[in-house]
Amino acid sequence: MPTMTYLQAISDAMRQEMRQDERVFVMGEDVGVFGGAFKVTDGFVEEFGPERVMDTPLAESAIIGTAIGAAVEGLRPIAEMQFSDFVSCGFDQLVNVAGKMFYRQGLSVNITVRLPSGGGFSGGPFHSQNPEAWFMHAPGLKVVAPATAEDAKGLLIRAVRDPNPVVFMEHKHLYRRVKGEVPEGRYETDFSARVARAGTDLVVIAYGAMVHTALEATADLDGASVEVLDLRSLVPLDEEAILASVRKCSKVVVVDEANQMCAAGAQVAALIAERAWEDLDGPVVRVATPDVPIPFSPTLEQAVLPQVDDVREAVRELLEY
């Protein structure tokens, strides 16, 4: 099995699907000749030609709107937002048009919108956000957020084939920092959670880059057996997997890199409060980014984003409770 970075796995997923399925094409700002701002589509225009690797104007509304039209006509577009932050310019097309098309007209909108998201590299307030909760709140959209190279590829292939609009949160800080064995060829990963590490004393529930933070924070905690649950998919949310972990461990720390208010972790905490009350042996603890913009200063950014030590401290306190 070849080893790939998270970024290579995303490229591989698109390449494999484009090779096998003529309906699949990519579009976005500088995805063609330049190969994408992060070089995810490096070499694509050479292999698939400019008609399937389309450079677009700086207009996210137009990118998503065009993708919607193409999907309604039967194609399977993959639209790249250069940074997830910029999706706000295409918000109406994504939330109101794509998300409600099937409800209103019975038409499938088979689009995948890739959102390079997340911080940790001094990108500042416009290039570091985690806007997944905006779309979790919009009926008709699916939202997935892989943490590993293998899942990035499998989830993206699944997203391309899903007849619904899928918001694909790819954490750009993981692009070249996470490597792993990735199966060759085409495979799909279900929109479901995954136990990243099994344990019995406490479960840390996370997704995206925070899965790695959680694993590192709980690798050695004086012999405590800490489970890490990687949600992978936020909509649909794998409720049964969450409840199974809570039943087993009875103590829960929920980690979000997103701003705390109404984040994905808030939904997880609410689910646990509603359906796992009698399994709890302590309060549900949340670790998330406070409700502030992501600072540019590296020191301040570290102070704001959940760090390994923050998660470790929260876990330790809850273990002792």
Partner 1 sequence: MSSSSIEMTEIRMPQMGVSVAEGTLVEWKKQVGDWVEADEVIAAISTDKIDTDVEAPAAGRLQEILVEVGETVEVGAVLARIATDARPGEAHSSEGTSEADVALEAPGEAGELQGDTTEADNEGSAQRGAAQRPGGRRYSPVVIRMAAEHDLDLERIEGTGRGGRVRKQDVLAYLESDANGDAAEPPMHIESPYKPDAPPPPRKREPRFAAPAPAPATGAAPLSRMRQSIGRAMVESLQTAATCTTIVEADLTRVDSARRALGVTYLPVIARATIDTLREFPALNATLDGDTLTTYEGVHLGVAVSLGAEGGLIVPVIRDAQELSVEGLAARIRDLAERARQNALSPDEVGRGSFTITNPGGAGSIIATPVINQPQVAILDTEAVVKRPVVVTDELGNDSIAIRRMTYLCMSWDHRALDGVLAARFLRALADRLEAWPVP
Applying CB under 8 A, the residues found at the interface with partner 1 are: 201, 250-251, 277-282, 320-321
Residue 273 CB, shortest distance to partner 1, in Å, is: 10
Q: How many residues does the chain have?
A: 321
Measured from the CB atom, is 185 or 277 closer to partner 1?
277
Measured from the CB atom, is 106 or 277 closer to partner 1?
277
Measured from the CB atom, is 103 or 321 closer to partner 1?
321
Residue 271 CB, shortest distance to partner 1, in Å, is: 15
- Among 127, 171, 173, 212, the active-site one is 127
User: What's the first-to-final CA gap in the chain, in angstroms?
Assistant: 43
Q: Rounded to an integer, what distance in angstroms lies between the CA atom of residue 160 and that of residue 44?
A: 17
Q: Rounded to an integer, what distance in angstroms lies between the CA atom of residue 208 and that of residue 214?
A: 10
Q: How many helices (H) and strands (E) does the chain have?
A: 12, 14
Strand (E) or helix (H) holding 267 = helix 264-275
Asked if 173 is an active-site residue, the reply is no
Residue 277 CB, shortest distance to partner 1, in Å, is: 5
Name the burial class of residue 282, with classes exposed (0-12), middle (13-18) and buried (19+) by CB atoms within 10 angstroms of its CB. Answer: middle
Measured from the CB atom, is 279 or 310 closer to partner 1?
279
- 250-270: string of b/e by CB count within 10 Å (b at 16+)? bbbbbbbbbbbeebbbbbbbe
Residue 276 CB, shortest distance to partner 1, in Å, is: 9
Catalytic residue set: 127
